[in-house]
Each structure stands twice: as C-alpha cells, then as structure tokens.
Structure 1
Amino acid sequence: MTPDHGAVVARIGKPHALRGEVTVQLHTDDPERRLVPGAVFATVAEPGSGVPRELTLATARVHRGIWLLGFEGIPDRTGAESLRGTRLVLPEDAEDDEEGWYEQDLAGLQAIAPDGSVVGEVVGLDLGAAQDRLRVLRPDGKEALVPLVAQIVPDVDLEAGVVVVDAPPGLLDLDSLED
C-alpha cells in the first residue's frame, strides 16, 4: 500500500514560531481524535524533498482557531519549513467508516435530493482548505461543487450507490463550473 491510497488528514502549511511547529489545513471532520501526540502519519511530499515517509505527532494545539502541530525529529523552524505542502495520510486500514470516504469510493455514486430526485453523478472530490467538496456532474452537463459537510450531505450509502445532497436553494447553480 502506498501513502497516497489512505485518507488525507491534513496538509502542512507554514512554520509557526521557532520550535518546529507548523500550521495545517485540516481534511478531517474529527481533528481532536486524529491529531493526538503519538499518532503516526504516512506522508505524501514532492520527490526528493527529504520529507520522511512517516511523521510521528509530538504536539497538537489550537492557537487562535488554527491547528499547530509539532513532530518528533523536527526541532526547529528550518525543519518545519521543509515539511511545507506535505500531506499527512492515514493508511486505509486505520480509517473507519465514520471518518470519511476515499475519492474512488465516491466517484460514480448517484447524487439524489432528500425527495429522491436526481441531482447528478459524483465525478470526483476536491480537497479544500475549509472543507472538501464533491464534484457533481449535473443532468445539464455542468459540474457543481457541493461542500462535503453533514448539513448538506447528510447520507452517503456506498452499498446503495447513492449520496443524499440536501443543497440550500441556489447552491447547485451558484457553484456550477463552466465546461
């Protein structure tokens, strides 16, 4: 198994202060459970960057609404800078059903409204800074971005091959992407 087949938990941003901490963009709905000291993450980084294949979390805290992480073996700002852009990944066997889904699991699912009407087909997943978004191909041939949050996507049923999209009025038209 390669690290890019696991679930992305976070993407490392810029260093914070001098002791090796970094900011992160979260890609998990449950950072308090995933980002605990001692957790080991596989890494996905640019080839030749020197980033270790795994990082062990030493510290995790929230400062002014931003998650700051420190890793074993990264003692200073220079080391932290070398991690910029690295994705922290959980192996597939460490993932559970409530944490999230893999893009390959979501692609091809039929997107339906709560009343059962067809919204479109899921064609991909965009990882975002604030939240991930489903890429939904609408019946008119345009793509819409749907925030993958419980309020808008209350149910994903892989066995039935459907995802329920309870979009507020205008969301699917507002987020339509031109082909």
Structure 2
Amino acid sequence: MTGVGVIVSSDNLIFVARIAGAFGVKGEVRLTTFTADPMALLDYRDLKREDGAPGLTLTSARPAKGGVVARAKEVETREQAEALRGLRLYIPRERLPAPDDEDEYYLVDLIGLSVVTPQGEPLGVVRTVHDFGAGDLLEIQPPQGASWWLPFTREAVPEVRMADRTLIAVRPEESE
C-alpha cells in the first residue's frame, strides 16, 4: 500500500497538495503535501486544478515543515503566491508509478471496489478513503441508505482482492 492523496475528482485526478500561502518575498509558495514523500511533487512538476486546468508548474522545491517550499513558473511575487492560498493541486492517476508488487496498491485504487462480508454478502462500494489523523477510514456506500465508515485495518479488512475489484470487510459490530 502506498500513501498518496486519495481525494479523486471526476476527471480521475488525485489530490496531492494545497497551497498554504507565500514564503518570503520572492514569489515562493508553501505547499502542504499529501504524498508519502513530499518532494515527489517536484517529480510530478505539472500540477492541475480540480477541474483539470493547469495549476502550477514547479521549477524547484525544498523540504519544509509540513510540506515543501517551491518555485512555480506561474508565480513571480509574494502577492501572487498569497492570492493562490487554499488552491488544491492534483495529478492525473496515470502519473503515479506502478506498485512494485502485485499485493501493493494505492489507497486511491480502493475507491469503487465492491465491499462484501467474508460470507460474500454485499455491503456496498468504497466511496472515499480519508485519514482524519487516526488512520485510514473507508467510506462505504451501501446500495440503499446512508454511507458508513470502516477503519482500514487488518481486522476490519482482512483481504483486498484487486484483481476481482473486491474488498472483504468485517463490520465493527460483527467483530465483537
């Protein structure tokens, strides 16, 4: 499993960073990153807006607390950098490197998987994956009714079958 932002837009774009504001007086931007390696943003270079329009073209970056400080082709002044505060930046899913092992996957690849019990009863589909600070949570959308949350732990999710696009889940009340 490889960590990367897991909010996916309708254009299959993956949320990887947010502009936190300006840094210094020469147009550098502070980026809060949502990638396992914050410096990976520089490898992606061309970051998109949520609608797929060009966002930032990174020309250099250096690590900073909570992310990176970067220079972008589109930003020349502190004022321009400040005006972009809060902008979410994305990359196309296909830009992510393939996992090294067939048992590895990106959390974003869980979105859309069918969720079934160990006995094969359908529970719904994975709608989103979030980490609110205490570990990854899967939002499960059942065929009818409100969605519910499932911790992404070995106990709650004993098996992920990527080839079958299925995730085996044990609802919390069932594991007690």
Q: Same-fold call, TM > 0.5?
A: yes
Task: Give CA-to-partner distance per residue, 1:1-40, whole Å, 9 cap, x none.
Answer: x9942322223233344442213151x3x224623x4531
Displacement over 6 Å in runs of 4+: 149-152
CA distance in 2, matches of 1:60, 1:23: 10
Task: State the shift of 1:61 in Å.
Answer: 0.9
| Contact map agreement 1:44 1:88 (CA 8 A) in 2 | yes
- Stretches of structure 2 lacking an aligned partner (at least 5 in a row): 1-8, 100-104
Aligned mate of 2:30, from 18, 22, 25? 22
In the alignment, is the contact (CA less than 8 A) between 1:110 and 1:122 conserved in 2?
Answer: yes
Partner of 1:80: 81
Q: Distance in 1 between the 2:17 and 2:45 partners?
A: 13
| Aligned-partner Cα distance in 1 for 2:107–2:29 | 28
Q: Is the 8 A contact 2:38 2:63 kept in 1?
A: no
Deviations 1:50-100 (A, max 9, x none): x8444225113132xx11331333344322223223332222332234362
**Corresponding residue number in structure 2 for 1:5:** 12
Residue identity matched to 1:8: F
Partner of 1:163: 167
* Deviation at residue 106 of structure 1 after TM alignment: 2.3
| 1:143/1:39 CA distance change after superposition, 3 Å | closer
Is the CA contact (8 Å cut-off) linking 2:15 and 2:91 kept in structure 1? yes
Is 1:62 aligned with 2:64? yes
TM-score, normalised to structure 2, is 0.60
Name the CA distance, whole Å, in 2 between partners of 1:76 and 1:4. 31
With over 3 angstroms needed to count, the CA separation of the structure-2 counterparts of 1:148 and 1:56, relative to structure 1, is farther
Counterpart among 119, 122, 134 of residue 125 in structure 2: 122
- Aligned mates of 1:122, 1:93 — CA distance in 2: 22
Name the CA distance, whole Å, in 2 between partners of 1:149 and 1:41: 34
Q: Distance in 1 between matches of 2:153 and 2:20?
A: 23
In 2, are the aligned partners of 1:124 and 1:134 still within 8 Å (CA)?
yes
Q: Is the 8 A contact 2:157 2:168 kept in 1?
A: yes
Instruction: Please report how far the alpha carbon of residue 164 of structure 1 lies from its aligned counterpart in structure 2 after TM superposition.
Output: 4.1
The secondary structure found in structure 1 opposite 2:80 is: helix
Contact 2:60 2:70 in 1 (8 A): yes
Ranges in structure 1 where 5+ consecutive residues have no aligned partner:
173-179
- Which residue in 1 is equivalent to 2:45? 40
Deviation at 1:159, TM superposition (A): 2.0
CA distance in 2, matches of 1:8, 1:107: 17
Number of paired residues?
158
TM-score, normalised by the number of residues in structure 1: 0.60
- RMSD (Å) for aligned C-alpha atoms: 4.2
Contact 1:135 1:144 survives alignment (8 Å) = yes
* Kept after mapping to 1: 8 A contact 2:30/2:69: yes
